[in-house]
Amino acid sequence: MKPIIDILDERLTAAMNQATGRQDCAALLRSATDPKFGDYQANGVMALAKQVKVNPRDLAQKVVDCLKWEEICEPPEIAGPGFINLRLKTDFIVDTLLKINAKHECLGIDTTNNPKKIVVDFSSPNIAKEMHVGHLRSTIIGDAICRMLEFEGHTVKRQNHIGDWGRQFGRVILGLWHMCMAKQHIKEDQLDSTVYYYQSELRELEESAQDKSTLEAICKRIRDRHKEDWEKDSEGKDNPSSGEKFFHPFLDDLQNRNPRELWPDFLAAYQYVNRLEDSLTDMGMDIPIRMRDPQKDTWIIKSIPYESLSRHITTMLQNIDHPDNEQEKKAWQRITDISLDHCREVYDLLNVKITDEHFDYEVVRGESYYRKMLPAVVNDLKKMGLAVESDGAMCVFPAGFKNKEGNPLPLIIQKSDGAHLYATTDLAAVRFRVDQLEAKRIVYVTGAPQALHFEMFFAVARQAGWANDDVDLVHVTFGSVLGEDGRPLKTRSGENIKLRDLLEEAVQKARSVVEEKNPDLDDQTKQDIARAVGIGAVKYADYSTNRNSDYIFSFDRMLSLEGNTAPYMQYAYARVKSIEQKAEDKHVNIEAELADMKQLTLDDPAELDLARYLIRYGEAIESASQDCRPNYLTQYLYDLAQKFSAFYNACPVLDAGPDKRPTRLLLCDLTARTIRHGLTDLLGIEVVEQM
């Protein structure tokens, strides 16, 4: 079925064209601002009257005279300075409800007649970092956008543009190497109760931060051992540090281990590398490295500053696909696996699908995916004359952007050391998405601070002709999650709050509420409810604010069960389900009563109020999807739940007479279906039958 608002808008527009003899009228049909004005109001007549210089109320009357409304609306009313107010006929509402009942799988909503291929780039966490609150919004807003677009009938390609390339690359490999070596330093019989050196030495480094000489002694000790381990690892081989003895077997063994157990260790080792490198600055310590002698094609050993070791690995591995770098490539792949597994755990909790196993196409295409396309991006921009060298770096200066000095602002695509940046990767990705994925719209869900980057990068993509006018480029921004103090949400010690911890706390808090309200449920049921309510509360709280606003994160409010929250919605749903369960006791066969319904009796104001709102679900989806604003959808669902509650209070269902009961059962059924569809199918929030 076509949305009612669209039908009326078309008719109003036609009537306005007819009344004025023009072709360019806009009815501006909107939801009525107040129920006393009816269901819809047309705002366009007033502007039109101004243009054609006639009295707006007179024009409104003319428009109404030309308008076909009879089978849909009560007689239109002209109000105020020239509004045309439309109220749906009860018969029309009845008709529509019956049609929805006949097609209740899609709730009477048609798919779009203009389906597009749309890429949605979201979540995109950084490898080697635990997912934290900062990833919450992109992940769930992006997911909701995809779900809405998919429901509308678009072909959506989800892309998880993970940060798996670039500067931290060398450090993560070093981290894994330390994990390997630390294990070697542990005797077999100590394995249970032991502390790995990267754990104990991290503490030492932190504690001695202010004491230069102690710090140097620690670093020297670490360096000496590092060197020794490195040499031992290639014992008996002419290929230095080939990793034959320890590292390769370690990496192979990792494949057989549970990534979930490895993750904390890896994080600790990575943190160790970061700390160590920061500590080493200006200490003048060296470490040997191996490199290919390009002349003789043999390995040579060279000394470099210890603190630049990871940077060396990073630059060397610009060429990761070379056979010489197999060890590093393998290490990097293991880390990606381990890290993605951690993400997967969070995604599962959030009920978000943004990894490969859920789809028949590659979802996780991180920065590394585009690595081979980067030189071409730079070269092509150079050839076009768009990229020029500036202070040793390759830059594009898109028109209209200025820096602090008022000079043209560069988008840097290649650093002076030859390395590429995220702008380069973004450009390669946009090319890939337009050419290979045939995207007609690309949606980037990232925080507002990156707005300038996207503006510039879009401008360059357009200038280069990689995204022409037939491709929409959209940056969906969002605000920050704040703590109760109004500052960005952090732990007391100032660290990012781990997303998994946050979600687990939400489930735990929800559990204690369930425990209190409904102590007789069995343990598994309680846990299922706690999970649906806890996770749902976090997601719903996010969705229900304007995404551009910052919002203050509060477990108490989001779990408070009153107001516009997930628990309230879930409760409304559970109450309907409860009626269904009770039906059997009262010998009411719901299916039989709903099947093949021909007529409804909408007598009670609460029934009518609920009914007229139920048929407008599609409008809510349309507006939420259009602007990528899930809060339009939550607002609709909340209003719907409130109207249902009012109806529930005023109108007995199971005890109603046979003349009223089928209607009321239908209202219950469609309310439940709509809430479940909105919550679960579009927002990924579970509903529960009881709570």
Residues 209-228 that bind RNA (CB under 7 A): none
Cβ-based nearer residue to RNA, 17 or 635: 635
Cβ-based nearer residue to RNA, 219 or 481: 481
Cβ-based nearer residue to RNA, 8 or 412: 412
For 438-455, b/e burial (b = at least 16 CB within 10 A) is ebbbbbbbbeeeeeebbb
CB of 571 to RNA, least distance (A): 4
Cβ-based nearer residue to RNA, 253 or 655: 655
Cβ-based nearer residue to RNA, 37 or 151: 37
By CB under 7 A, residue 7 contacts RNA: no
By CB under 7 A, residue 30 contacts RNA: yes
- DSSP category for residue 437: S
Cβ-based nearer residue to RNA, 681 or 689: 689
Which one-letter amino acid corresponds to residue 444?
Y
Give the ranges where 494-544 is alpha helix by DSSP (H).
499-517, 523-543
CB of 59 to RNA, least distance (A): 12
Instruction: Report the site for RNA in 58-87 (rule: CB under 7 A).
Output: 79-81, 83, 85
- CA gyration radius for the chain? 31
Q: Using the rule CB under 7 A, which residue among 170, 243, 534, 567 binds RNA?
A: 567
Task: Tell me the number of residues near RNA by CB under 7 A.
Answer: 101
Cβ-based nearer residue to RNA, 360 or 516: 516
Host H or E run for residue 243: none
CB-based contact 73:86 (threshold 8 Å): yes
Instruction: Report the site for RNA in 494-513 (rule: CB under 7 A).
Output: 513
By CB under 7 A, residue 315 contacts RNA: no
Q: What whole-number distance in Å separates Cα of residue 80 and Cα of residue 65?
A: 18
Cβ-based nearer residue to RNA, 226 or 431: 431
Q: Using the rule CB under 7 A, which residue among 33, 55, 111, 200 binds RNA?
A: 33
Q: Using the rule CB under 7 A, which residue among 421, 429, 602, 667 binds RNA?
A: 421
Enter the tokens of residue 634: 């939550």
Secondary structure class of 268 (helix, strand, coil): helix
Cβ-based nearer residue to RNA, 166 or 259: 166
Could you tell me which stretch among 138-146, 196-204, 220-228, 398-406 binds RNA (CB under 7 A)?
398-406
494 burial (CB, 10 Å; 0-12 / 13-18 / 19+) is exposed
Cβ-based nearer residue to RNA, 268 or 654: 654
- DSSP category for residue 29: E
Could you tell me which stretch among 144-152, 219-227, 466-474, 566-574 binds RNA (CB under 7 A)?
566-574
CB of 345 to RNA, least distance (A): 21
The half-sphere exposure of 355 on its side-chain side, counting CA atoms within 13 A, is: 17
574 burial (CB, 10 Å; 0-12 / 13-18 / 19+) is middle
By CB under 7 A, residue 485 contacts RNA: no
CB-based contact 56:45 (threshold 8 Å): yes
By CB under 7 A, residue 122 contacts RNA: no
Secondary structure class of 665 (helix, strand, coil): helix
By CB under 7 A, residue 198 contacts RNA: no
Residues forming beta bridges with residue 393, ordered by sequence position: 390
Q: Using the rule CB under 7 A, which residue among 190, 220, 415, 589 binds RNA?
A: 415
By CB under 7 A, residue 568 contacts RNA: yes
CB-based contact 550:482 (threshold 8 Å): yes
Cβ-based nearer residue to RNA, 250 or 540: 540
By CB under 7 A, residue 642 contacts RNA: yes
**Residue 513, CA distances (Å) to 98, 504, 576, 675 in order:** 39, 14, 21, 22
By CB under 7 A, residue 649 contacts RNA: yes
By CB under 7 A, residue 562 contacts RNA: yes
Q: Using the rule CB under 7 A, which residue among 422, 432, 543, 617 binds RNA?
A: 422
By CB under 7 A, residue 325 contacts RNA: no
Enter the tokens of residue 348: 């599962």
Instruction: Report the site for RNA in 232-271 (rule: CB under 7 A).
Output: none
Q: Which of 366, 427, 370, 358 is nearest to 146 (CA)?
A: 358
Q: Using the rule CB under 7 A, which residue among 71, 238, 417, 596 binds RNA?
A: 417
Q: What whole-number distance in Å separates Cα of residue 216 and Cα of residue 282?
A: 10
By CB under 7 A, residue 623 contacts RNA: yes
Could you tell me which stretch among 357-365, 435-443, 561-569, 672-680 binds RNA (CB under 7 A)?
561-569
By CB under 7 A, residue 690 contacts RNA: yes
Instruction: Report the site for RNA in 358-387 (rule: CB under 7 A).
Output: 367
Q: Using the rule CB under 7 A, which residue among 68, 221, 257, 582 binds RNA?
A: 582
**In terms of C-beta distances under 8 Å and separation of at least 24 residues, what long-range contacts does 412-421 make, across chains too?**
413/377, 413/378, 413/381, 413/387, 414/378, 416/391, 416/392, 417/315, 418/315, 418/318, 419/166, 419/167, 419/314, 419/315, 419/318, 420/374, 420/377, 420/378, 421/166
Token look-up 């679960």 returns 680
Cα torsion 518, 522, 526, 527 to 10°: value is 160
Binding mask 36-55 for RNA (x = CB under 7 A): -x---x-xx-xx--x-----
Instruction: Report the site for RNA in 432-471 (rule: CB under 7 A).
Output: 448-453
CB of 218 to RNA, least distance (A): 27
CB-based contact 234:242 (threshold 8 Å): yes
Cβ-based nearer residue to RNA, 272 or 638: 638
Could you tell me which stretch among 197-205, 320-328, 572-580, 591-599 binds RNA (CB under 7 A)?
572-580
Instruction: Report the site for RNA in 583-622 (rule: CB under 7 A).
Output: none
Q: Using the rule CB under 7 A, which residue among 463, 560, 601, 680 binds RNA?
A: 560
Could you tell me which stretch among 173-181, 252-260, 268-276, 543-551 binds RNA (CB under 7 A)?
543-551
By CB under 7 A, residue 479 contacts RNA: yes
The Cα angle at residue 562 between residues 558 and 564, in degrees rounded to 5: 65
Enter the tokens of residue 333: 């792949």
CB of 151 to RNA, least distance (A): 19
Q: What whole-number distance in Å separates Cα of residue 539 and Cα of residue 670?
A: 24
